[in-house]
Structure 1
Amino acid sequence: MKNIAFVFPGQGAQYVGMGKEFVENFNIANDIFERASDSLGYDMKELCFEGPEDELKKTENTQPAILTVSIAAYEVLIKHGYKPKALAGLSLGEFSALVASNVMSFEEAVKVVRKRGRYMQQEVPLGVGTMAAFIGLDREKVIEACNKASQFGVVEPANFNSPIQTVISGEIKAVEKAVQIGKELGAKKAKVLNVSAPFHSSMLKGAGEKLSKELDKIEFKEFTYPIVANVTAEYYNSVSQVSKLLVKQVSNSVLWEDSVKRMIKDGIDTFVEVGPGKALSGFIKRISRNVQILNVEDMESLEKTLKALE
């Protein structure tokens, strides 16, 4: 019997056409899209299936769209009888995990992540903050690059994704300086990303405070499945932590590599990335060669995954 973890993608996984095949083939997926449209007051199918891409890329649209596709894919998997031993999600994906574990309703989550996207985008004016990715530089040296560049402004580690990839975040000048220093310290590759805000940095603290007020309105239920939290790389031990850790996550580093290692330590031997894209599958491959990695984003990947799980 496999010990399966379902993991859910974050922002950046979106693409026009995502979720379409599930809606065409499963009533349960269609229902999720209908519920998203009813909750948000716009047509989620149109946004995900037709775009345009510029509209889908707006943070306040991206977040509910990815959540919708992820939960539609999750419901299809559950319908086939597969249940996880653990859940986790990268950044926004943590909300998908909380819906999958029945801690919050899909309707509550889709509304709150739209606001989360809006708050994150509005917190820092365009042209002030950015992010950069380092490939092939260990985390201590990434932290050293940030520390050395911090005299030029705010720059902090944002995502510890895998042993070879770390993302930093902060003010443009400081991030660019950290990239230069990272290259000097031996990074195989270091480049500024095409993003509109310095996500997971202290510059977004105000966005977290606004999100906190929205989360206060939600009555969280007990966990159906254990979830590993981004900011601690440990399992949530009570619902009283949910709001606090989701708020903290907005302006703190995402410990993805550590989260995956935690699940492996607890016996997880199969990871299924549930939702658009395969970014998490790539990270997990770098973290461990001893686990099975699958994904579910369309009919082809679903069939492959169901076959592999038999």
Structure 2
Amino acid sequence: MKKIAFVFPGQGAQYVGMGKEFVDNFKVANDVFEKASDSLGYDMKKLCFEGPEEELKKTENTQPSILTASVAIYEVLKEHGHVPEIVAGLSLGEYSALVASGVMSFEDAVKVVRARGKYMQEEVPLGVGTMAAFIGLERDKVIEACERASEFGVVEPANYNSPVQIVISGEVKAVEKAVEIGKEFGAKRAMVLNVSAPFHSSMLRGAGDKLGLELDKVELNDFVYPVIANVTAEYYDSVSSVKELLVGQVSSSVLWEDSVKKMIDAGIDTFVEVGPGKALSGFIKRISREVTLLNVEDMASLEKTLKALED
């Protein structure tokens, strides 16, 4: 018997056209897009299917659009009788996981992540903060590079994606200095990313506080499936911890590698990436060669995954 986890992508996975094939073929997917449009007051299908890309790339649009596409695809998998044992998501993807687990209604989640995107973007003026990726540098060396560069400003580990990829975040000068130091330490690659804000750093604490006020308006329900929190790489132990962990997530490191290891330790042998892109599958492949990796983002990948799950 396969032990299956569904994992949901974060910001950066978006592309024009995502979700369209599901809306064209499945009423449950169409319903999710309709609910998004009703909740937000604009046409989610038009945004996701027609773009333009510049509009889709705005953080306050990106976040609800990825959530919508991911949840629509999840509903199609569920309709086919496939449900997970555990769910998790990378950053924004954690909201998709919480919707899949029944903790938050989709209508509430799509409003919350739109506000989340807006607050994260507004918290730090453009040009003040950035992020950088290290390839092939050990975790302790990345932490040391950040510590050494911190005399130039805020710089902190933001995403522990896999054993070979760690992303840092902070003020531009400090991030650039950490990249220099990382290269001296022997990173295979270290490069500043083309992002608009220093996500998952302490510079976004104010955005987390504002997000907390949005989450106060949301009714939370019990978990249908266990969900792993980014901030702790542990299962949520109660509904009462959801708000605090989601607020903390905005300005804390995302422990993705640790989260995946936690699922593997629980006996998960099959990961299904539910939503646009294959970034998470790439990370998981670096964490373990022993697990089966599947993804669903269009009709072709759906058919392939359904066949693999039924074998």
Alpha-carbon separation, structure 2, partners of 1:29 and 1:87: 19
The match for 1:131 is 131
**Alignment of 1:54 onto 2:60:** no
The residue type equivalent to 1:72 in the other structure is A
Aligned alpha-carbon RMSD (Å): 0.4
The residue type equivalent to 1:3 in the other structure is K
**Shift in Å, 1:24:** 0.5
The residue type equivalent to 1:291 in the other structure is V
The match for 2:69 is 69
The residue type equivalent to 1:143 in the other structure is I
The match for 1:307 is 307
Alpha-carbon separation, structure 2, partners of 1:250 and 1:174: 20
The residue type equivalent to 2:62 in the other structure is T
List gaps (5 residues or longer) in structure 2.
none
The match for 1:215 is 215
What secondary structure sits across from 2:60 in the alignment?
Answer: helix
The match for 2:201 is 201
The match for 2:78 is 78
**Shift in Å, 1:73:** 0.4
The match for 1:269 is 269
The match for 2:297 is 297
Write out per-residue CA displacement over residues 226-259 of structure 1, whole angstroms, 9 at most, x where no aligned residue: 0010000000010000000000000000000000
What secondary structure sits across from 1:221 in the alignment?
Answer: coil
The match for 1:21 is 21
List gaps (5 residues or longer) in structure 1.
none
Alpha-carbon separation, structure 2, partners of 1:135 and 1:50: 34
The match for 1:41 is 41
What secondary structure sits across from 1:186 in the alignment?
Answer: coil
The match for 2:92 is 92
Alpha-carbon separation, structure 1, partners of 2:175 and 2:183: 12
Alpha-carbon separation, structure 2, partners of 1:28 and 1:221: 22
**Shift in Å, 1:219:** 1.6
Alpha-carbon separation, structure 2, partners of 1:237 and 1:181: 39
What secondary structure sits across from 1:271 in the alignment?
Answer: strand
**Shift in Å, 1:70:** 0.2
TM-score (norm 1): 1.00
TM-score (norm 2): 0.99
The match for 2:118 is 118
The residue type equivalent to 2:143 in the other structure is I
The match for 1:224 is 224
Aligned residue pairs total 310
What's the % identity of the aligned pairs? 80
**Shift in Å, 1:218:** 1.0
- After superposing on structure 2, the runs of 4+ consecutive aligned residues of structure 1 that deviate more than 2 Å are none
**Shift in Å, 1:124:** 0.1
